[in-house]
Each structure stands twice: as C-alpha cells, then as structure tokens.
C-alpha cells in the first residue's frame, strides 16, 4: 500500500493506464490572437501528426484571445470539421490568461501548449508528454538552449533569450534552461494546484509557473528541440522584456518573504518499498538532523562574528546577548524553512516567539558560562571566551533541537496535515471565460474550408 507522508495535496505520480479511453489523454492548447492566416494550416498539420504518431486519444483546443480579425471564424470552422478540435473564445488578451482558462477546465490528464507558428519540430511532442504520461515528471518543457538542440533564429532574439535565462539563474536561482520556449506540458493534477498560485496572465506566465514548480520540488523534464524562428512574429520584445523583469521582481520578493504556500505542491514518493514507513522510526528525523546541523554550523559562525563585532563596543555579556538575539531570529527562520519544511506566513510570529524562548535558554547557558569563567579567571583572554562559548553553544544546540522538534515545529502527523490542507479549488467554469456569441466574428459569414486554406498562408506552413 502506498504511503503518502507529504503534507501536500498532490498524489503520487502514476502511469496512465494503456487502455485509457474515457477522455482525451492529451489536450494541446494553441493560444492565438489575430492569426487567421496561420491557424488553419497549423491545426491541420498538428492534427495529422497526432493522428499518425500519438497512441492515445487527444484533443486540440484553439484558445482565441479576443481576436478582432477572422480568427474566430477560422477556429469555428475547424471545430465543426475536425472531431478532435474545439474552439474557446476569451474576451481578454493574454497568453497566460488563455492557458489558465483552458487548462483549469480541461478533463485531460496531460495538458500542453504550443505556438501557432509551429516553430518547434513536432517530432518533439511525444518525448515532451511521455514523461508525464508515465508518471516520471510533473512538467515538461522544450529547450532551445540544450546542447543537442538545433535552432535557427536571428542574433537579437538569441541574445535576448540567453540574457533572460541568465537573469533567471542569477536572481531566482532557476535551474531549467529555457523559460520562454512556446512548447510546454503539465500534468492535470499538478495544474489544478499550481495554476491558482500563478498571478501573471501574459508572457511571464510560463516563467512564473516553472519557478514556483521548481521551488516546490516538482520534477521538470527538458526536451531538446529543433526550432526555426518565425520572422513574422508579432511579439514586442521591449515591452515583453519589461513585463518579464517586473515579474521576476514580484516573484523573487514573494519567495523571499515566504508569501507563497508552496507546501501545497509537495509530492510523496512513489511505491518503492524503501519509502514505506517503519514502525518506531520518527519520520524525517535523519533529514531534520542534517538540516539542523548545517543551519547550526552557519548560525554559530554568524553568532561568533556578531559577538566579535559587538565586543569591540560593549562588554562581553551585552555582546553575547545581542549576538545571540540576532542569530537566534535568523536560526529560527532558517530551521523553519530548511529543517522542518514550514513555508508561508502561517504561525510565523508564533514560531519566532517560541524560538525566542529557546533563545532565552541558550542565553542562560552561555551567559552562565561567561559568568563562571569571569569568576574563575578575572580577565580571561578573548580566545578563552570564544572557546567557552563554543562549548556552551554545543550543549545548548542539543537542547535547542529537541525543543524545536517537539515544541516549536512538532510533527502533527496525518491528522494535522489533513486539517491544514487547503480547501479544494472550485471547478473553473469555462463558459464564463469565453463568449461564443462574441461580435468579433459573424456567424453568418462564409464557412471556412479547412481542407482548402486561403492561398496567402504563411510560408512556413509549406515546409
């Protein structure tokens, strides 16, 4: 029997059954805005590829971002002529808004999206979604920056893409290689929990989703792709770059202050027998000990540096109290996040208050040691003071860990986890996300012939 030891609400990853036939396994979303020329050939080419190569049922969803040209008419014609195609109309622009609306309402277990220009070679689609179907990964992205990728694009876009990914690595410590490639997939169960945490509705949507998923410990699979840039792309580089940098600042600040409940995304391990709980062994004790020792070593170094600095301006007792107070606040915050896995602001003030009580015990031990040293030696050397303080801190460390584990951050078990789990997100009603009666297209206009697209189709579709 599988053991779910995680406080999150995500189940263990399972391989989708080979006989899955109730609903489409894959829902590929194509967000479009004023793409009447490219939409028809794109959808037909994608449909033909999936029909020939994809072994599961699939669906193609055209998400129209409030287009003002003939895009709605083309999309409606495709949906009427091809059984696996449907059309969703939104009354506001924004790629992120379109993906959130369609993905939140989709019943498919695997969700994907790609740009309408089909810049990415479609042979990468099955490798993109296979790790999600098998249960190996939570998200998958196409990467134009992988060593084996083959990319044809101008130097300006190459520079912007690489510079942006360097910014993500330097500011948000992102480890994925390509945030902006319009070729991504996500498991449906992950999307239902992750998407409510993503605020952006435009081009930064992808980056924010990936950063939050990575910080929560979800597994992101990368697929090298062959990419030929669309020279007629309507993306405004300067405006998009500005919005992306604003998004980087917003997400970075939220992660710094712990404002995002990323613990909702925690995954339990699979059904490996080594993951099953053993009677009499406290869960997570070894990992907590390692985390506590690392935090403790860094806190002790921080404390000694503070003590040495304060000692130059005041007496030993005052310097000890100030250094221990500052380092205790930092120690509690670090142990809260890294050792005991508590994220967000819930009970943060209470945890710091309890940490200060633990600090008081440490203060009593170290101050008592300094007082005893002063009584015994009169005017001890600074090195002697440091040696005594290290010994006293080692003694206080053992007691601090026990108090933190049993009192400040107790393991409340499955019952508490269930009690603190967030309420289920209400089902997203896609009927409010788009208006099929929108005046942006005329229902009486001539039907779009999906098998004979207009002669001025984009030259890329002839490839």
- Condensed to tens digits (0 to 9), the pLDDT of residues 396-428 reads 777 778 888 888 887 654 333 333 344 444 443
Q: Yes or no: say if 139 and 207 are a contact pair by the CB < 8 Å rule.
A: no
pLDDT band at residue 231 using 50, 70 and 90 as cut-offs = low
List Cα–Cα distances, 266 to 119, 129, 231, 281, 357, in angstroms: 34, 21, 41, 21, 30
31 by DSSP, 3-state: which? strand
Burial 154-176, CB ≥16 within 10 A → b, else e = eeebeebbeebbebbeeebebeb
- β-strand 226-228 against 220-224: which pairing, if any? unpaired
Please say whether the beta carbons of 39 and 64 come within 8 A: no
Report, as an integer, the average pLDDT of 88-96.
Answer: 91
Encoding tokens for residue 376?
């015994």
Cα(376)–Cα(388) distance, integer angstroms: 12
Rounded to whole angstroms, how far apart are CA atoms 285 and 288?
A: 5
Q: What percent of the chain has pLDDT over 90?
A: 30
Mean of pLDDT over the chain: 78
Of the candidates 38, 53, 41, the one whose C-alpha atom is nearest the C-alpha of residue 82 is 41
Q: In whole angstroms, what is the distance from residue 193 CA to residue 314 CA?
A: 52
What HEC string does 164-214 produce? HHHHHHHHCCCCCCCCCCCEEEEEHHHHHHHHHHCCCCCCCHHHHHHHHHH
Match 């669906």 to its residue by tokens: 59
Inform me whether the pLDDT recorded for 128 exceeds 90: yes
Mean per-residue pLDDT for 190-197? 92
**Which of the two residues, 362 and 96, has the higher pLDDT score?**
96
The tally of CA atoms less than 13 A away on the side-chain side of residue 283 is 17
Q: Is the dihedral of CA 158, 164, 170, 176 positive or negative?
A: negative
Residue the block writes with tokens 């896609």: 430
Q: At what angle do helices 285-311 and 316-334 cross, to 10 degrees?
A: 150
Checking if the pLDDT of 219 tops 60, the result is: yes
C-alpha to C-alpha distances, 252 to 167, 217, 344, 416, nearest whole angstrom: 12, 17, 14, 30
Give me 429's structure tokens: 């009603």
CB 24 within 8 A of CB 109: no
Query: H helices of 227-347, where?
Result: 237-257, 285-311, 316-334
Name the nearest CA neighbour of 98 among 353, 440, 430, 362.
430
The continuous run of DSSP H or E covering 110 comes out as strand 110-114
What are residue 90's phi and psi, to 5 degrees?
-110, 150
CB contact burial 66-97 (16+ within 10 A = b; e otherwise): bbeebbbbbbbbbbebbebbbbbbbeeebbbb
Q: Is the pLDDT of residue 349 over 90?
A: no
CA–CA gap between residue 3 and residue 275 (Å, rounded): 7
The span from the CA of 66 to the CA of 89, in Å, is 7
Closest CA to 110 of 72, 157, 59: 59
Overall average pLDDT of the 96-120 stretch: 93
CA angle, 308 then 311 then 315, to 5°: 150
Q: How far apart are CA 27 and CA 104, in angstroms?
A: 12
Q: Can you give the pTM of this predicted structure?
A: 0.61
pLDDT at 71: 94
The pLDDT of 127-145, averaged and rounded, is 93
**Is 429 buried (19+), middle (13-18) or exposed (0-12) by CB count in 10 A?**
exposed
Q: What is the pLDDT of residue 125?
A: 95
Residue keyed to tokens 């809260």: 336
Q: Kindly tell me if the per-residue pLDDT of 357 is higher than 60.
A: yes
């Amino acid at each position: 029997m599988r053991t779910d030891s995680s406080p999150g609400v995500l189940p263990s990853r399972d391989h989708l059954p080979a006989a899955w036939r109730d609903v489409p396994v894959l829902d590929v979303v194509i967000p479009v805005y004023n793409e009447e020329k490219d939409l028809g050939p794109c959808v037909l080419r994608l449909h033909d590829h999936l029909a020939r190569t994809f072994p599961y049922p699939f669906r193609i969803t055209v998400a129209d971002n409030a287009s003002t040209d003939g895009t709605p008419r083309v999309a409606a014609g495709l949906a009427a002529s091809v059984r696996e195609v449907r059309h969703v109309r939104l009354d506001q622009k924004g790629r992120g808004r379109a993906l959130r609306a369609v993905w939140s309402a989709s019943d498919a277990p695997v969700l994907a999206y790609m740009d309408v220009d089909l810049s990415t070679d479609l042979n990468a689609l099955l490798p993109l979604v296979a790790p999600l179907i098998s249960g190996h990964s939570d998200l998958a992205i196409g990467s134009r920056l992988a060593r084996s990728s083959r990319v044809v694009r101008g130097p300006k876009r190459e520079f912007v893409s690489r510079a942006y990914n360097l910014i993500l690595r330097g500011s948000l410590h992102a480890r994925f290689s390509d945030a902006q490639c319009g070729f991504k997939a996500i498991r449906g169960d992950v999307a239902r929990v992750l998407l409510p945490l993503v605020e952006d509705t435009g081009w930064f949507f992808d980056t924010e989703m990936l950063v939050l998923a990575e910080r929560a410990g979800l597994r992101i699979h990368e697929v090298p792709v062959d990419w030929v840039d669309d020279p007629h792309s309507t993306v405004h580089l300067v405006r998009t770059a500005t919005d992306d940098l604003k998004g980087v600042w917003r997400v970075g600040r939220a992660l710094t202050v712990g404002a995002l409940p990323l613990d909702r995304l925690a995954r339990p391990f699979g059904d490996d027998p080594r993951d099953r709980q053993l009677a009499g062994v406290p869960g997570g004790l070894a990992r907590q000990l390692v985390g506590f020792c690392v935090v403790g070593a860094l806190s002790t170094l921080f404390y000694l540096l503070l003590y040495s600095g304060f000692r130059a301006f005041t007496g030993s007792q005052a310097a000890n109290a100030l250094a221990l107070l500052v380092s205790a606040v930092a120690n509690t915050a670090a142990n809260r996040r890294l050792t005991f896995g508590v994220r967000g602001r819930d009970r943060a003030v209470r945890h710091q208050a309890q940490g200060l009580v633990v600090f008081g015990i440490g203060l009593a031990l170290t101050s008592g040691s300094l007082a005893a040293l002063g009584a015994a030696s009169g005017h001890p050397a600074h090195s002697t003071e440091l040696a005594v303080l290290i010994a006293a801190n080692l003694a206080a460390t053992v007691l601090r860990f026990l108090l933190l584990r049993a009192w400040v951050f107790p393991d409340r078990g499955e019952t508490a986890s269930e009690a603190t789990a967030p309420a289920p997100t209400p089902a997203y009603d896609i009927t409010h996300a788009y208006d099929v009666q929108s005046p942006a297209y005329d229902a009486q206009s001539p039907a779009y012939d999906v098998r004979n697209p207009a002669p001025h189709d984009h030259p890329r579709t002839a490839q």
